[in-house]
Amino acid sequence: MVGPSRPQIVLFGSSIVQMSFGHGGWGAILSEVYARKADIILRGYYGWNSTRALEVVDKVFPKDAAVQPSLVVVYFGGNDSMAPHPSGLGPHVPLTEYVDNMKKMALHLQSLSDSTRLIFLSCPPVDEAKVRQNQSPYLSEVIRTNELCKTYSDACVELCQELGLEVVDLFSTLQKADDWKSVCFTDGIHLSAQGSKLVAGEILRVIKEAEWKPSLHWKSMPTEFSEDSPYDLVSADGKQTVNSSEWTYFWEEQWD
């Protein structure tokens, strides 16, 4: 543990979470936005479904932890929504079981503390043609369809509305982009830099608009070690120093 202590924002999910610091990912964007304000903690597990996540949620988020997260962003659903394999093996989870799993996860996370907030991300669409094109010779056929993705996305959104949770509808969000199949994915499933920008933008919008106290919007949070110092860069007139603790000019995109 390093100090000073900061609020924790935990990203919990499957490959779209595990890979969120690569390819200009949305996790990396959040880390940049929350630099010196909160720690972005990655708990991503490639290939996982909601059933497997539910088995370990109390280990990833123990109720007796000395510090509980301020925000947990949860994504499961893409693997759950895959068509079932004839053997009964594989990541597919029936829709009703998926909803039940996500509800149990939400209730566990809500029980961590009165100030732990949640944002769920629903199942995104896929580029079906590219998924078929990229089929691995080492794996059984992966069947992902947008019909199934939408069904699981809608179920996640409906559950969040029922529980009063914040949710980002990824199925709709990614399709807002022009030529979304070409620009939002690296392989038809996982997010490109452009896809991640859309996801990050929606997460930041939800945080800004949420009526949480205290607010977790990055502009509302204190910046660590932000006091003026004689060791800061010197101004052009040479008479004073310039505090750089709030500078964001180096961001690729100026986030609100």
Q: Is 187 a catalytic residue?
A: yes
Residue type, 188: G
* Beta carbons of 93 and 139 less than 8 angstroms apart: no
Q: Is 190 a catalytic residue?
A: yes
| Residue 52: partners with Cβ closer than 8 Å, 6 or more residues away | 45
Question: Catalytic: which of 5, 58, 140, 187?
Answer: 187
Give the gyration radius of the chain's Cα atoms: 20
DSSP-derived 3-state class of residue 161:
helix
Q: Is 14 a catalytic residue?
A: yes
Question: Catalytic: which of 31, 92, 190, 217?
Answer: 190
DSSP 44-91: E-TT--HHHHHHHHHHHS-TT-SS--SEEEEE--TTTTSPPPTTS-SS
Q: How far is CA 199 from the centre of its chain?
A: 8
Compute the distance between CA of residue 14 and CA of residue 252 in angstroms, rounded to an integer.
26
Cα–Cα distances in Å, from 88 out to 84, 93, 94, 143, 149? Answer: 7, 10, 11, 14, 20
DSSP run (H or E) holding 152: helix 146-163
Q: Hey, which residues are catalytic here? A: 14, 187, 190
